[in-house]
Amino acid sequence: MALLETRNLTKEFGGLQALQGVDIEIAQGELVSLIGPNGAGKSTLINVITGMLDSTDGQISYAGTDLVGLDPYEITQLGIGRSFQTASIFPGLTVRENVEIASFATEHGSFSVNFFRRRDSYGEVQDRATELLDTIGLDDEADTAATELPYGDKRRLEVAIGLATDPELMFMDEPTAGMSPQETDMTVELIRDLLDEWDMTIVLVEHDMDVVFDVSDRVFTLHRGQIIAKGTPTEIRDDPAVREAYLGGESE
């Protein structure tokens, strides 16, 4: 059974069909990349699944639970996380405090579906933050003010904030955007760790095709709100419809 499945998922903004009948299924432990030209609907798909936007039509199920109509915090507590935008970092707090706050907020949400995930003391929150900072390679910067971090470290801190909610499935929307090659390499290493050591399922939106073809089990291609191809990196690389979508006049 798929961990995450959508059927006929549709999102309209006024007259614009941002998602048109999207059917996807993602298995536990997979890394699926979502690619497509600018404006294809990638971020919208993530926003609809994570409850940030209401869908216009269609079904979404996660581990057998219907997600349609749930609030974002309820979806988070079911085990779906996302790496947040820079705006979610508290610049005046230290790196460690940022991770602890995210972890603490999860623990004290209004309900927890999976109580095995609960942390019941500040000590546990601290231990979890230490583990997360070690995973993202920011353990040496724990006491640095978040605002002082270089760009790539800030982006990895966003990932840690996303991880602090203990997701089983994590959405990452362009985690390497604007990163130097070295920062990108570190982020790819982090993604591998999350898959191999943390046993996570990841949906990655990424414009860097070297990264996509390197880390993905499967690649889904969106074009004008529709899935036009699903396959292994090799299949997608050679798919004429995918090439057409990227060359067909929309800006990359």
Write the single-letter amino acid at 73.
Y
Contact characters 13-52, ligand ATP, x per CB under 6 A: x--x-x-----------------x-xxxxxxx--------
Does 43 bind Mg ion (CB under 5 A)? Our answer is yes
Cα atoms found within 13 Å of the Cα of residue 74, Cβ hemisphere only = 10
Under rule CB under 6 A, residue 248 binds ligand ATP: no
Residue 41 interacts with, from ligand ATP, Mg ion, none (CB under 5-8 Å by kind): ligand ATP
Distance in Å, CB of 212 to ligand ATP, minimum: 13
Residue 175 sits in the site that holds ligand ATP (CB under 6 A): no
With CB cut-offs between 5 and 8 Å by kind, which of Mg ion, ligand ATP, none does residue 102 bind?
none
Residue closer to ligand ATP (CB basis): 128 or 223? 223
Residue 113 contacts which entry, ligand ATP, Mg ion, none (Cβ below 5-8 A, type-dependent): none
Considering only 41-49, 107-115, 127-135, 227-235, which stretch makes contact with Mg ion by CB under 5 A? 41-49
Sheet hosting strand 4-13, strand order edge to edge = 16-26, 4-13, 57-62, 65-66
Using the minimum distance from each CB to Mg ion, give the nearer residue, 19 or 132: 19
- 44 interacts with, out of Mg ion, ligand ATP, none, CB within 5 to 8 A per kind: ligand ATP
Among candidate residues 22, 216, 250, 224, the one with its CA nearest the CA of residue 237: 216
Which residue spans within 155-251 are E strands per DSSP?
169-173, 201-205, 218-223, 226-231
From CA 108, how far away is CA 177, in angstroms rounded? 32
Q: Does 39 bind Mg ion (CB under 5 A)?
A: no
Q: Which residue's C-beta sits nearest to Mg ion?
A: 43
Tell me, what DSSP letter sits at residue 141?
Answer: G
As to burial, measured by CB atoms within 10 angstroms (0-12 exposed, 13-18 middle, 19+ buried), residue 181 is exposed
Q: How far is the CB of 36 from Mg ion (least distance, A)?
A: 9
Which positions ≥6 away from 214 have C-beta within 8 Å? 188
What does 165 bind: Mg ion, ligand ATP, none (CB cut-off 5 to 8 Å by kind)?
Answer: none
Check binding of 94 to Mg ion (CB under 5 A).
Answer: no
Residue 10 binding ligand ATP, by CB under 6 A: no
Q: Are 161 and 97 in contact (CB under 8 A)?
A: no
Element (H or E) spanning 57, and its range?
strand 57-62
Interaction of residue 250 with Mg ion, rule CB under 5 A: no
Cβ proximity of 146 and 91 under 8 Å:
yes
The residue with tokens 């414009």 is 207
In the complex, which residues of this chain contact Mg ion (CB under 5 A)? 42-43
